[in-house]
Structure 1
């Protein structure tokens, strides 16, 4: 598991010492900078209920792939 220090800039304090398997099942609001209102909007728009759902979202994966491919263009 990453050290607590490495998670302090990623997670809200309440989640910093939790196991990663528990963190990925938490609401996206567990991520720093994502409010409960933001998490509710993600749920309504994309049925994203957990951090795992967010990471697995096809639109996010497509966007990441496009950014990676664009970086390889000449």
Structure 2
């Protein structure tokens, strides 16, 4: 399983939270995602939390396509 440095992907306020807290957090907990970005994601796709974003089918499709491309090289 890949590891991730939480302080590099999370807003400072969320870096010391538990994984369940992070997954339940608004997408603005992710570094670089603004409150407005979160509003737009909610309006467009119904995404409210980090877990919702991870489950978004378009994100999963894009990840699968990128993995296929990486595997073909």
Do they fold alike, i.e. is TM over 0.5?
yes
The structure 1 segments of at least 4 consecutive aligned residues displaced by more than 6 Å after TM superposition are none
TM-score, scaled relative to structure 1: 0.87
Return the alpha-carbon distance in structure 1 between the equivalents of residues 52 and 23 of structure 2.
8
Superposed CA RMSD in Å reads 1.1
TM-score, scaled relative to structure 2: 0.88
Which residues of structure 2 form unaligned runs of 5+? none
- Deviation sequence 1:17-71 (CA, Å, 0-9, x none): 1111011000110000000000110000010000000001000000100111122
The structure whose Rg is larger is 1
Give the paired residue count. 69
Which residues of structure 1 form unaligned runs of 5+? 1-5
Structure 2 CA distance for partners of 1:30 and 1:71, relative to 1, 3 Å? same
Q: Which residue of 2 aligns with 1:66?
A: 65
